Amino acid sequence: MDTETETDAAARRPQRSAHSTGLIYAVLAYGLWGMLPLYFLLLTPTGAFEVVAWRVLFSLVFCTLLITVTRRWGRFLAVLRRPRIVWTMGLAGILIFVNWQTYVFGTLSGHVVEAALGYFINPIVTVFLGVLVLHERLRALQWVAMGISLAAVVVLTVGYGSLPWISLVLAFSFGFYGLIKKRVGHSVDALAGLTLETIWLAPIAIVQLIVVGTVSGLTFGAISPWHTVGLLTTGVVTAVPLLFFAAAARRLPLTYLGLIQFIAPILQFLVGVFILREPMPPERWVGFGLVWVALVILTADMVVSGRAPRRASLEPA
């Protein structure tokens, strides 16, 4: 009996380790994303289309260097021999490109709070995708929190006086991106996946730079040395949290991944309201208050449950 108990405990250790590692990766990813508005504002007067194009190209450069340093070319070439994975990463690339473009546009046009709303909505999209597509289950309190979150979205939409398209595009593009990364996480590692995504997007980025250069002129190398360094490091700033996110998606159930991502919109909200001084009328405070109540319920439920989800045992380490 004691031997069986020890065996069971030993078998559970790798599962708990994978779950804990996934949590660390998720917190790092969302924490970095939460501070991105300040970074992109430092890149002004560069416009959103030029910023995103450089993000794509320098992310590809960074990933290529990382593959070379870690000697993973063999693994990457093996992925290229799997057409289904290559095409799936192309779809993921399109989704993340839409997300990047919308987010940078929102940040540089003074809509950081609306972008934060998008990432508050995103956990709802992610959790429901987990339930409907991956058949993950929610507990009763989690359903209550989801209902409150949906009510908050309605209140905030009325408060904006128009459809908050920036918020909705961000929420749905990243929600479906997370689903794709979850489904292929066992077949392609984070670095190879991001490299494939940026390879698909590189032609689009080049065309985008040509258009910007023709219409208004490129700012790269024309503002200041620090500005140029800022654009050069967009690859690192873009790739690192995405690699963390992909690594977390391979280790955590999609529902739990969705619940952790409130870190990013809270940080973005604080930046928008208290640093950039974006307007916050009463109805927006009510809406965001409802969102925070939902997040408190979700967090309390996870603490009270006091266990790593059993479904984590089904996830590859």
What tens digit of pLDDT does each residue of 189-221 get? 878 888 999 999 999 999 999 999 999 999 999
pLDDT in the model for residue 258: 64
Structure tokens at 101: 């473009």
For the chain, the first-to-last Cα distance in angstroms comes to 28
* Percent over 70 (pLDDT), the chain: 88
Greater pLDDT, 255 or 206: 206
Domain positions in the chain are 18-314
Give the integer Cα–Cα distance in Å for 278 and 114: 10
DSSP state of 139: -
Residue 311 pLDDT exceeds 50: no
In this prediction, residue 305 carries a pLDDT of 66
Whether cis (ω within 30° of 0) applies to the bond prior to 265 is no
Output the pLDDT for position 265: 87
pLDDT for the residue numbered 307: 46
pLDDT tens-digit profile of 78-110? Answer: 999 999 999 999 999 999 999 999 999 999 999
The alpha carbon of 39 is separated from its chain's Cα centroid by a whole number of angstroms, namely: 16
Cα(191)–Cα(197) distance, rounded to whole angstroms?
10
pLDDT attached to residue 173: 92
Q: Residue 104's pLDDT is what? A: 95
Greater pLDDT, 6 or 255: 255
Q: What is the mean pLDDT of the chain?
A: 83
Residue 218: its pLDDT value, please? 94
d(CA 305, CA 23): 16
Query: What pLDDT does 313 receive?
Result: 32
Least confident of 4-13, 180-189, 262-271: 4-13
Mean per-residue pLDDT for 266-272? 90
Q: How far is CA 299 from CA 78, 156, 256, 279, in A?
A: 40, 22, 10, 28
Residue 308 has pLDDT above 50, yes or no: no
Which residue type is seen at 140?
A
C-alpha span between 310 and 16 (Å, rounded): 10
Q: What is the pLDDT of residues 3-15, one digit of tens each?
A: 455 445 545 555 5
Which amino acid is located at 272 in the chain? G
Would you state the structure tokens that stand for residue 290, as one six-digit string? Answer: 């409802």
